[in-house]
């Protein structure tokens, strides 16, 4: 868009950013939020903000949007299913998700290139990632969200899948 922001509400509810569910204008940083949700789900086998099973199914999308908007309850950063061969999640991976990708304030949330500078991703970047480099090159001015997503997901996979034992 010419203005650099959008204001339509679209997407899969659990992956929507606070600015989307509250009807505020948003930038590409909303995609960084969605990446944070995806990374959280890879590690913990659930999305960070979601209505519980006791809410009637037809009311869950709206209830989930209210939870995302308020940020309550906060994500646990623990596996939803205990006792399934869980691994210890690296504190740097939690820091990436909590402080960088799922930053509730979109102004403070990292851009794609800033997220790649986080120590967890910098340590785990795949050498010779030509596709990611070409994607970044083609964007001319900054690293694309696609390249950041590929790097984050590859880093989490190199960690060994979810901490909850499912792959």
Q: What is the pLDDT of residues 78-116, one digit of tens each?
A: 887 655 555 678 899 999 999 999 999 999 999 998 998
Q: What is the structure's pLDDT at 137?
A: 43
Sign of torsion over alpha carbons 13, 91, 108, 66: positive
Mean pLDDT computed over 116-141: 59
pLDDT at 6 over 70: no
Q: What is the pTM of this model?
A: 0.77
Judged on CB neighbours under 10 Å (0-12, 13-18, 19+), 148 is buried
């Amino acid at each position: 868009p010419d203005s650099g922001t959008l204001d339509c509400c679209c997407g899969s509810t659990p992956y929507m950013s606070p600015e989307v569910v509250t009807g505020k204008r948003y930038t590409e940083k909303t995609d960084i939020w969605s990446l944070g949700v995806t990374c959280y789900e890879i590690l913990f086998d659930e999305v960070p903000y979601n209505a519980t099973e006791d809410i009637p199914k037809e009311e869950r999308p709206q209830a989930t949007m209210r939870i995302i908007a308020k940020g309550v309850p906060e994500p646990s950063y623990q596996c939803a299913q205990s006792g399934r061969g869980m691994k210890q999640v690296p504190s740097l991976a939690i820091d990436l998700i909590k402080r960088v990708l799922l930053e509730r304030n979109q102004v403070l949330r990292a851009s794609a290139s800033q997220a790649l500078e986080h120590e967890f991703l910098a340590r785990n970047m795949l050498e010779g990632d030509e596709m990611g480099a070409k994607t970044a090159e083609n964007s001319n001015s900054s690293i694309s969200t696609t390249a950041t997503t590929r790097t984050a997901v590859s880093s989490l996979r190199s960690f060994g899948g979810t901490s909850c034992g499912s792959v």
